Amino acid sequence: MRMISKIVAATLLVATTASALTYENSTLYKDVRFLGMGNANVAVGGESASLFHNPAGLLGMKRNEGLEFEILNVQAMISDSTIEFTSELLTLLEQAQSSGDQNLSIYDAFVTKYIGKPVSLSVSDYTSIAYRGSNWALSVGVLGSVYLNAQVHNILSSEGILEVNGFTAVGTVAGFGMSFLDHSLHVGLGTKVLMGEMEGISFNNVINANIGAEASSSTAENYYAGYTSVVFDAGVMYDLDGLLPFGEFLRPTIGASLLNIGGIKMGTIKGEEVGIPMTANVGFSLSPAFGVTNWFLTDLVLAVDYVDALGAYETSNVGKNLRMGGKFSVIKGWLGELTASAGMYNMDYTAGMQLRLLFLELDASTYAEELGAYAGQQLDRRYQIAVNIGW
């Protein structure tokens, strides 16, 4: 029973990273507003969080020549299986406490059901202040992120009945951008100063020779590492309005970025260096001058990205790297705006909604993270919500 109690505590409280358990490409921050449209944002921009895609995107902020505050921007993510996993585990714990039964047989069905299924959740906050001038933009933000992922193994596994790995990150993210060539060319630079911790724990069983006999429990720290890292970003966007047919109507833009130059080095896991590599990314977007009215069904944006073009991630492939989607304003006015988005990420669908009312913004999105080595192998459906207070 103590073993199960420890599992519950770890599942609910320990911050963990999926990359230690799966082939998920490690990333520092995923903004719910971009995930709804397939996380395609290299050639879109418009938010302070564009620094995580392309620092040149700061020039796309809507508030021209003014300050933009996000004094609270809290996000929470949970995977499809996390709620069910936690509910069943708590029920199992309650049954074990009431019966006093520590025999492994009562855990068989639970372990069988969840073997190989990762349980993921994260909580993050990106608070920022930005200024958009006539031909320049500046943004400074503070990031705090905690990521959880756990995975159940066979009861007899040497890796333990539950493997838990952890990742936290805290730091400052800043960027600056300028426009040239009559506001057609946008160039941006950024930096991230980060610190955090990684930890892995296995919950192990020592089983007697007779199957079904009582088991003792133990925990083992697989690894622990603290890290600090300073990386840089660079990006460019170019508006093609006057260069392509129908350009004035379609308003096409191309973009490219180099993110995390030098790589975010987080430590060593079982003899291997882990972290977030430098990636080269390209994108294309259209912002057609189309709308039923200026307040209803307007502000359409379509985008496609190809990230990690140089294959820095171990499992880089077309299916994982290709992202596309779109968004549009359903209705907007001086009180607020309702935006809908949809797209494709890891070759599976994404969808999102964004509601802004004066200083309050509520966001929700769903997407699927690829945990396998290639797109479509082991998709993990996730749901993300956010509360943003700012102006």
| DSSP sequence for 100-130 | ---BGGGGHHHHHHHBT-EEEEEEEEEEEEE
d(CA 35, CA 323): 10
- Contact between 280 and 308 (Cβ < 8 Å): yes
What is the C-alpha end-to-end distance of the chain, expressed in Å?
A: 50
- Contact between 119 and 138 (Cβ < 8 Å): no
H/E element, 146: strand 136-152
Closest alpha carbon to 39 in 374, 341, 314: 341
Please provide residue 208's backbone torsions phi and psi, each rounded to the nearest 5 degrees: -70, 165
What is the token pair recorded at 70?
A: 């996000």
Who contacts 78 (Cβ-Cβ below 8 Å, separation ≥6)? 120, 121, 382, 383, 384
Beta-bridge partners for 362? 355, 387
d(CA 303, CA 239): 14
- Per-residue pLDDT in tens (0 to 9) along the chain, 391 residues: 343 333 333 333 333 333 444 567 788 899 999 999 999 999 999 999 999 999 999 998 876 667 889 999 999 999 888 888 888 877 877 776 776 655 556 667 777 777 777 788 899 999 999 999 889 999 999 999 988 787 777 666 666 667 777 788 999 999 999 999 988 999 999 999 999 887 767 655 433 333 444 444 455 556 677 889 999 999 999 999 888 888 888 999 999 999 999 999 887 776 777 889 999 999 999 999 877 778 888 999 999 999 999 999 887 789 899 999 999 999 998 889 999 999 999 999 999 999 999 999 999 999 998 877 666 677 889 999 999 998 8
Look at residue 391 in the predicted model and tell me its pLDDT. 82
Look at residue 105 in the predicted model and tell me its pLDDT. 62
Q: For the structural domain made of 2-390, what CATH number should be given?
A: 2.40.160
Look at residue 152 in the predicted model and tell me its pLDDT. 77
Place of tokens 């080595």: 373
Place of tokens 């320049």: 136
What is the token pair recorded at 348?
A: 């599976």
Place of tokens 């400052």: 172
Closest alpha carbon to 246 in 287, 282, 199: 287
- Angle, helix 2-13 to helix 82-99, in steps of 10 degrees: 150
- Contact between 284 and 254 (Cβ < 8 Å): yes
Q: Do strands 252-261 and 162-180 pair parallel, antiparallel, or not at all (unpaired)?
A: unpaired
